[in-house]
Structure 1
Amino acid sequence: MTRALIVIDVQESFRARPEWAGINNPRITDQVNRLLRLARDAGDTVVWVLHSEPGSGDVFDPALGQVRLMAELEPDDGDLLIHKTSHNAFTTTNLQQELTLRGVSELTVCGIRTEQCVETTTRVGSDLGYTVTFVTDATATDAITRDGVTLSAEEITRRTEFVLADRFATIATVDELERRAAEEAR
């Protein structure tokens, strides 16, 4: 198959941060596992991406043990596991080379921080020539306050969908992808 599921930063580091209390999708692993089953049934490549900041002394420092997949996820020995140190999954990794070796041309993207690492990976993937599907309900974020103005997680998600749609990605939900897979199986 020419598709890959890219799961970005669904890692214990985020649950170890106080901001997790305000996350808009605390059960993100349920949605990711549904996507994982779709990918495995289709024979797609599965890529797990973890963010790490070696030597930082915070929850993203691998030495402290939080840079690992959330416990509820269902990885397999045949999956790729990539560690990144930038906002997107391409710049500081060999992800593009791995996808090229597998003949991947389409990406399904999900993960944690909707507007940050997931959106940035989507944009870079599109710029590299991949056809990208951004699965909104399999992403998570929290509110952002800057200069006295707060955007809710819902506003951030809506903005992300708005700027990605028809430019960098197709926006989808897990339900839509499951229906599509069922129709293709007929």
Structure 2
Amino acid sequence: MTQTALIVIDVQESFRARPNWQAVNHPDIADRVGRLVRAARDRGDLVVWVLHTEPGTGGVFDPANGHVRLIEGLQPAEGEPVLTKTAHNAFTTTNLQQLLTQHGIRELVISGIRTEQCCETTARIAFDLGYDVVFVTEATATTPLPHWTLPADASLEEVLADPRTLMPATVVERTEYALAGRFATIRTLDEQAGLSRMPVAS
């Protein structure tokens, strides 16, 4: 039985429907995640897909608007769980922990959108729940992070013009600093995708 699960978080069209997607650090996130998915399947690891929903909001995360679906090029295989969440992390509003327990999972590999939000939050909670956590930063994506005093409806141009805005490279660096050695092991895409199948001790 596999002991590792790849968690693919919120790699969905909702984000591509937002203006700030023009400034995303990894527009090829679906390809990056796809590489992890293929490697996980080859090893016999569990792959779990998570989608973020905000029903009734009328926004890009409202399922009624049609954007709450995986980015083109990604497709769950038969039997791979697809969970929908309404919280920032993949545990609180889903049966993810129960699912992982049923499969005997001990290690989680985190990928998806956004690096510092749903991915980082899931990693922290997973660690506190007792899982070994691997965070593949190169298989996560994020956009410029505006200062909290900037109006929520500020345009991308206004966000980019504000000297207080954190650019994706800085956001990623801060996430890695916060997680490494505390909540997760940081691995590159090449490192994680290149792992050979490990025999599980009986």
TM category, shorter: over 0.9
Query: CA offsets, 1:125-151, max 9 Å, x none?
Result: 000000000001000001112145111
* TM-score, scaled to structure 2: 0.88
Any gaps of 5 or more consecutive residues in structure 2? 150-161
After TM superposition, give the deviation of residue 77 of structure 1 in Å: 1.5
Q: For residues 22-56 of structure 1, give each alpha carbon's deviation from its aligned partner in whole angstroms, at most 9, with x where no partner exists.
A: 10000001110110011101111110000000000
Q: Which amino acid aligns with 1:91?
A: T
- 1:1-80 residue pairs with structure 2 within 5 A? 1-80=2-81
Pair 1:170-2:185 in alignment = yes
Matched residue type, 1:8: I
How many angstroms apart in 1 are the aligned matches of 2:56 and 2:48?
25
SS in 2 for 1:126: helix
* Separation (CA, whole Å) in 2 of partners of 1:39 and 1:29: 15
**Aligned partner of residue 168 in structure 1, secondary structure:** coil
User: Which residue matches 1:132?
Assistant: 133
Distance in 1 between residues matched to 2:193 and 2:53, nearest whole Å: 32
The secondary structure found in structure 1 opposite 2:20 is helix
Match of 1:112 in 2: 113
Report what 2:156 is aligned to. none
Q: Give the counterpart of 2:195 among 169, 180, 184.
A: 180
**Structure 1 regions of 5+ residues with no counterpart?**
none
1:156 aligned residue: 171
**Structure 1 residue 173: deviation in Å?**
1.1
Q: Look up the match of 2:96.
A: 95
Q: Which has the greater radius of gyration?
A: 2
- Report the counterpart of residue 142 of structure 1 in structure 2: 143
CA contact (8 A) 2:29 2:140 kept: yes
What's the CA shift string for 1:4-29, capped at 9, x where partnerless?
Answer: 00000000000011110110000001
CA RMSD of aligned residues (A): 1.3
Count the aligned residue pairs: 184
TM-score of the pair, normalised by structure 1: 0.96
Q: Flag the structure with higher strand content.
A: 1
Deviations 1:71-127 (A, max 9, x none): 111321211000000000000110000000111010000000100000000000000
